[in-house]
Amino acid sequence: MKTWELQPRPGFDALTRAERPSQSVGSHEVKVRVRAVSLNYRDLLITRGAEKNLSSPRVPVSDGAGEVLEVGSAVTRWKVGDRVMANFFPHWVDGELSDAHHASALGGSLADGMLREEVVLPEHAWVRIPKGYSFEEAATLPCAGLTAWQALFEVTSLRPGETVLLQGSGGVSVFALQLAKAAGARVLMTSSSADKAARLRELGAEEVIDYRAEAKWGERAKALTGGRGVDLVVDVGGQATFDQSSAALRYGGSMSMLGVLTGARGEVNLGAVFQRRQTVHGVYVGSVSMFERFVAALEHNRIKPVIDRVFSFEDARAAWEHLASAQHLGKVVVSLP
């Protein structure tokens, strides 16, 4: 089968074309013909760190969708021809996340990912594609979509009429915008691009704050609620955005912390968190059970993902370059023939 691999090389030169033998299928396993994958910021980080962190080639990318080619003798959940997506953590079915689940994350330094023609995983690792979704649309869901779902409705519970603050226009934030609007919430967002701000308003954002023009964008968000503060912040930035995220929150508000775009370590103002009784939830993608609830919500609300651009399998490296340019709004996808 054809595949892309990460070699221990610098930069995007780590991405190389290769061929591997087709895998056999165990009794409880399912082989899927991958039809599309989507990229996440994590894929940029892993690729850029390949020279330092990889000792042997790895297939990149966590998110993919396709159709079942073969099932093991004991498989009961799936049949040939079913349209499915792989869960980011293949062995996190339900309950709490664990070290063992972390080790199985697709497309990381310990487990091969989805950017190949065929993937074999246990039957419990697969989730059915929402009705009416293309493979390209389905491929956007396993990481960014499910992360947004957990941030809004699993670790916390966004309610109609509440206000949520979202950051930027990447995959997680755009999914969170769509989900929050479907739930009847008011959505505030940040962006430094006038063009992206206009598009976010078209998608339902009530206000978009230019975080470069307004360094205290969190205080601006609070002012837009009449001084009360927002009910929930989905923070994708990390260290450099934490304080303004906290400043935007009301007393007793919640922050879903899920990104490290500006770094994972550094000085933050914890005083505001405990003085205002704010809660910070760590969010890392989700379990198979969460994914199934997310799929049901997408179908009920008829939400379709926002895809920025689709690249061919042969042109996959260009997809990395496009994502790295930060010019995208929504998801970057690679389609397989």
pLDDT of residue 272: 85
Predicted confidence pLDDT, tens digits, the chain (337 residues): 999 999 999 999 999 999 999 999 999 999 999 999 999 999 999 999 999 988 899 999 999 999 999 999 999 999 999 999 999 999 999 999 999 999 999 999 899 999 999 999 999 999 999 999 999 999 999 999 999 999 999 999 999 999 999 999 999 999 999 999 999 999 999 999 999 999 999 999 999 999 999 999 999 999 999 999 999 999 998 888 999 999 999 999 999 999 776 666 778 888 888 899 999 999 999 999 999 999 999 999 999 999 999 999 999 999 999 999 999 999 999 999 9
pLDDT of residue 109: 84
Map tokens 């190949």 to a residue: 116
pLDDT of residue 206: 97
Distance from C-alpha of 274 to C-alpha of 298, rounded to nearest angstrom: 35
Which pTM does this prediction carry?
Answer: 0.94
Asked if residues 47 and 317 have their Cβ atoms less than 8 Å apart, the reply is no
pLDDT of residue 336: 97
At 335 the three-state DSSP class reads strand
pLDDT of residue 175: 96
pLDDT of residue 29: 98
In this structure, which amino acid lies at residue 218? Answer: G
DSSP string, 231-268: EEEEE-S-HHHHHHHHHHEEEEEEEEE---TT-S-S--
Asked if residues 248 and 231 have their Cβ atoms less than 8 Å apart, the reply is no
Tell me how far CA of residue 284 lies from CA of 37, 85, 96, 154, 256, in angstroms.
19, 18, 11, 11, 10
Asked if residues 37 and 115 have their Cβ atoms less than 8 Å apart, the reply is yes
Print the SS3 string covering 59-92: CCCCEEEEEEEEECCCCCCCCCCCEEEECCCCCC
Distance from C-alpha of 188 to C-alpha of 229, rounded to nearest angstrom: 11
Residue 310 tokens, joined: 């689709």
pLDDT of residue 278: 94
pLDDT of residue 265: 76
In this structure, which amino acid lies at residue 91? Answer: H
DSSP state of 151: H
Residue 18 tokens, joined: 């290769």
pLDDT of residue 146: 98
Length of the chain: 337
Domains and CATH numbers, the chain: 2-142+286-335 (3.90.180.10), 146-282 (3.40.50.720)
298 membership: H or E segment, kind and range: helix 288-301
Distance from C-alpha of 246 to C-alpha of 299, rounded to nearest angstrom: 33
Query: 305 CB contacts (<8 Å, ≥6 apart)?
Result: 137, 140, 141, 145, 174, 175, 178, 330, 331
Distance of CA 321 to the CA centre of its chain: 18
Residue 218 sits at φ, ψ, to 5 deg, of -65, -40
pLDDT of residue 239: 85
Distance from C-alpha of 141 to C-alpha of 282, rounded to nearest angstrom: 19
pLDDT of residue 143: 97
